[in-house]
Structure 1
Amino acid sequence: MSRPQEPQRPSFPFGNPFRNILPKGSYLSPRLLALVNKFEETLAERLRKLTPKDREDVLTLSWMRCAMESLCDIHADIKALITALELPVSVWDDKWIDVYLDNSVKLLDICIGFSAELSRLNQSHLFLRCVLHNFDSMPSDQFIRTRSSLDGWKQHITSKNLRTENCFTILDNLVATLDEPKVKNSSKGKVLMRAMYGVKVVTVFVCRIFAAAFSGSGTKLMDLQVPEKYLWAEAYTGLQAFVNVEVRNSCISGRVTALKELQAVDIIVKKMYPLVEDGTNSIESEEFKDCISDLRKSAAKFSDGVDILLKEVDGFFQILLSGRDALLCSLRAGSDVSIPMQMNNITEQVAR
């Protein structure tokens, strides 16, 4: 399905991008008002739960897993809202469809970039396994191999992933479309676009934190201003302020990585390297034995965390893909079946 391309409108990421949705004086039935309020209250609660209890929790793999789980839940919430609105694809405005399809492609690209980076980080664990294997039976000639493995690990985790860097460009493009599309004659459409704005803001925020964590750079973080009229605005603003400050501080500290579990491994490796260089003189020392024990625990925690987060990213990818496929199927069939019903069918097929 092709449509004539419209000139790109200027973007105002720090203004009020949703000022024409539900303006003053617009009427919503009690039912529609209840639906949009429930959605926004749920979104606010999810954001509050995502706010870390401690500053040290920011950029841990466990917190990032929770963030990705929240994104999956939020996208499930918008599917449930569409079902409740009883808004079939046949009455969707072409602009809504264009924006949705364009955004879904961008988010799929971001997921691919994140999965590639997590897979790359997982490969670094192979170097650590080689180190630990050499320590299990440590003849003097194994020190050379151990040093080589430690050097390989350092080079691997400090290398740059161009796909991660590209995520920032994609996210900037998503921010530039936050003010689209505007709705004039459909109360249900206004509710849908208002809810989708919230989903988009939170999705961009979480993905930008991920990109900063993987790239080790906080310079491209963005503090979006959300109008106070949204019931989730206060929770979002608080979460954004808290997390962005900690990410920026972590990224300017000169550490090799922003990920906390990876930082823990790096600290141990730095302690271990001079001991390995000393060779057999340090093999019986308590410090050496402590390093081995600490490395074994930290490496396992890091590897397990990456595996779990990778599964969550893949799950989010499947949610995006199933939603996009469902919409395209509905458009091709000219069906009046609402999007979420088909999404659920496709999701069930994927699960099988």
Structure 2
Amino acid sequence: MSTLFASLGAVIHSFSSPRSPHRVPVFEANSDPALLAFESEVSSRLEQLRSTDGTGYLSIEWLCQAMEMVLSTHAYAEVFVPNLQHDATNSDRKWTNSFLDNSVKLLDTCVILKEAVAEIKSYCGHLKVALRALEKEPTGEVQLKRCMKALNKCMDALKRRDDAVNYLGHRRTKLENCSSMLRRMGERLNMEDASNGNSCSAIYTAQIITIFVYGLLSSALSLKPRRSLSSISVDGHSSWCFSLINLQQSVKEQIERKKRRGSNAVLEELDMADIAVRKFHDLIQEISHGKSSSEKGIQVLKVTEGSKALQALFMDLQQGIPALESHLENTYRNLLRSRMAFLDMELGS
């Protein structure tokens, strides 16, 4: 039951749509000490994320911290679980049906997010081959050719994803389809009354936080995203509402800076690796067209230095992926367990 809130996260995605004429229900000021402590904790965690250096937004470490916040928010909300069955029983039956439908779609979303991480792992595989080609010294023409071939595969891995979107015209990537699906889920529910007791207020908070983090993941794992990060419109008296607004604005500004710079990736480590790969590719290509052996000798030294810098970026990316995978897997398991817990609650009512 402690993971019940995890499955409810995406049902309010429509609150992030600026075109929606509906507003998030405004909760009356609550004097319940437990609820006030819960909201204060959420605000504190949001402020901690915002206090990160702006260049750290959308790094693997930061995203993992954001997902940890989601899990801790759900765990903190556990105190309200005993009241959940009573509140749900007195609410519209559509609330139950919507939850069961949304939980399946959220499980599908987690699968797609994990597939996106698998694509980054494939990129890392090509980059590893490129770096290994330069391990043997002295660096000769054969090693440079092998490295160049692997670097081409790295760049093609990002380019193919972008070309596929352009070639298919109006069709969208799986991550974009996920965002649209979540938005439609919210549109069907944004007219429902979410203020049926403190347990529903806690669920509402957990939903907002989950949607925000899921949106971050969808943007971070996208390549050349064509859409800006959706802003979740919240309206309430809780301090965490303002913390969330300020945080999402800061993150959105960083994504826009990346887009203006022409970045191929939003994920910080992948973006930095991609920039270094393209520069390294140009250097090797320049060496292959060198006019004299002395000139090539100087440039080979540059290759050695460049490969060390690229190796460091590769390690940052490669070492961060397992943590990202682990958090996504935990999310998936929580979604599955929470669905089963909710079904058990229904059978027992």
> The TM-score by the shorter chain falls in which range?
0.7 to 0.9
Distance 2:64 2:38 in 1: 22
- Structure 2 unaligned runs (5+)? 1-13, 166-172
Give the drift of 1:295.
Answer: 1.3
Aligned Cα root-mean-square deviation (Å): 2.8
Q: Deviations over 1:307-351 (max 9, x none)?
A: 2111111111111111111111332xx325xxxxxxxxxxxxxxx
Give the drift of 1:127.
Answer: 0.7
**Of 179, 185, 192, the match for 1:168:** 179
Q: Deviations over 1:24-47 (max 9, x none)?
A: 8xxx7x6xx223222212221221
Give the drift of 1:301.
Answer: 0.7
The residue number in structure 2 matching 1:190 is: 197
Distance 1:128 1:65 in 2: 23
1:327-346 aligned at under 5 Å gives the runs 327-331=342-346, 334-335=347-348
1:1-352 aligned at under 5 Å gives the runs 13=20, 15-19=22-26, 22=28, 33-83=32-82, 85=83, 87=85, 91=89, 93=91, 94-137=93-136, 138-160=139-161, 162-177=173-188, 179-182=190-193, 189-215=196-222, 216-217=224-225, 219-277=227-285, 278-279=287-288, 281-282=296-297, 285-331=300-346, 334-335=347-348
Would the aligned equivalents of 2:73 and 2:206 in 1 still touch at CA under 8 Å? Answer: yes
Would the aligned equivalents of 2:273 and 2:313 in 1 still touch at CA under 8 Å? Answer: yes
Would the aligned equivalents of 2:66 and 2:213 in 1 still touch at CA under 8 Å? Answer: yes
Say how many residue pairs are matched: 313
Q: Deviations over 1:65-95 (max 9, x none)?
A: 1111111212223333213x37459836423
- Structure 1 unaligned runs (5+)? 1-8, 337-352
Which structure dedicates a bigger proportion of its chain to helix?
A: 2
Distance 1:46 1:286 in 2: 47
The aligned amino acid for 1:179 is: N
Would the aligned equivalents of 1:168 and 1:220 in 2 still touch at CA under 8 Å? Answer: no
Distance 1:240 1:178, change over 3 A: farther
TM-score by length of 2: 0.80
Distance 2:254 2:325 in 1: 23
Q: Secondary structure at the match of 1:217?
A: coil
Would the aligned equivalents of 1:89 and 1:330 in 2 still touch at CA under 8 Å? Answer: no
The aligned amino acid for 2:215 is: R
Q: Percent identity?
A: 21
Give the drift of 1:53.
Answer: 2.3
Distance 2:248 2:120 in 1: 26
145-154 or 267-276: bigger deviation:
267-276
Distance 1:275 1:253, change over 3 A: closer
Distance 1:224 1:286 in 2: 50
Give the drift of 1:266.
Answer: 1.8
The aligned amino acid for 2:124 is: H
The aligned amino acid for 1:91 is: T
Give the drift of 1:97.
Answer: 1.6
